[in-house]
Amino acid sequence: MDKKFYIAANWKMNASLSFINDYFSFLDSKAENSNEMIICPPDIYLQSLIKTAPSFIKTGAQNISSHDAGAYTGECSGEMLADNSVQYVIIGHSERRQYHQESNEDIKLKLLKAIDSNISPILCVGESREERESDQTFDVINKQIRSVLDNDILSKDIGLLIAYEPIWAIGTGLTATPEMANDVHSFIHSIVSEMISNSIPILYGGSMKESNAKDLLEMEHIHGGLIGGASLDASEFLNIYNIAEEIRNG
């Protein structure tokens, strides 16, 4: 199957300098395969990661300001991230939507700033448990995608990735079944294909781990994972990356 996979780690608010040293003593340049590995640490560790990680690993931030500069305490601009060689940025993660009240409008502004700074966005979408149980999954996803992406944005060569992260599966140990995830991925694919002809990789996130990665990654519309908890274990994260390679070569 010639499908390139994107295996991305979202470390969230975890890590330390010694964690980073240990992580990359284990995950070194010998680990490289034909797929893309991305690691998104907290901003304060971006430079340590860039210095310590083997060069095949791409670096991502977990947030970007919707402003260029000025009195925005605690924020980091796209220009600052680019200045620190950041290649990807997670935008619209459900934890940012929930704890920082980020709306679809804010998320669009952030996405535009990432594009201005030549940083590839990883746009996260996903429904809550209540929304799934009341059959609103597709409506929610449709709105999240259409209010942020349009023809103009998609026609730019910006290395955009979309991550489908059902909120009820994040950090809970509950995973969408491969079929459930694939259905939503296929739906996202159909929305995006109405706007452009090239396909955008769609990653799955929500309790992905070594034990379920193969079944998820084998699904037609799943092009990788955005992995939280399991990415904090270098050995497990590397095993997931290697599973992707086996599927690609298989």
Mark residues 134-173: x for contact with ligand 13P by CB under 6 A, - for none.
-------------------------------x----xx--
CA 241 to chain centre: 14
User: Counting contacts by CB under 6 A, is residue 98 touching ligand 13P?
Assistant: no
Q: How far is the C-alpha of 180 from the C-alpha of 154, rounded, in Å?
A: 26
Q: Tell me if residue 223 is catalytic.
A: no
Q: How far is the CB of 90 from ligand 13P (least distance, A)?
A: 7
DSSP string, 191-215: HHHHH-SSPPPEEE-SS--HHHHHH
Residues 6+ apart with CB under 8 A from 32: 54, 56
User: Counting contacts by CB under 6 A, is residue 121 touching ligand 13P?
Assistant: no
Region of 113-121, 143-151, 192-200, 221-229 interacting with ligand 13P (CB under 6 A):
221-229
Q: Tell me if residue 165 is catalytic.
A: yes
Q: How far is the C-alpha of 143 from the C-alpha of 178, rounded, in Å?
A: 23
Q: Is the Cβ of residue 7 or residue 170 nearer to ligand 13P in the bound state?
A: 170
Output the 3-class SS for 13-66. Answer: CCCCHHHHHHHHHHCCHHHCCCCEEEEECCHHHHHHHHHHCCCCCEEEECCCCC
* Among 126, 122, 148, 154, residue whose Cα is nearest residue 138: 126
Q: How far is the C-alpha of 45 from the C-alpha of 181, rounded, in Å?
A: 32
* Among 205, 166, 188, residue whose Cα is nearest residue 62: 205
Region of 18-26, 67-75, 144-152, 224-232 interacting with ligand 13P (CB under 6 A):
224-232
The active-site residue out of 102, 165, 185, 223 is 165
Q: How far is the CB of 126 from ligand 13P (least distance, A)?
A: 9
Region of 47-55, 182-190, 199-207, 212-220 interacting with ligand 13P (CB under 6 A):
199-207
User: Counting contacts by CB under 6 A, is residue 176 touching ligand 13P?
Assistant: no
User: Counting contacts by CB under 6 A, is residue 41 touching ligand 13P?
Assistant: no
Binding site for ligand 13P (CB under 6 A): 10, 93, 165, 170-171, 205-208, 226-230
**Catalytic site positions:** 93, 165
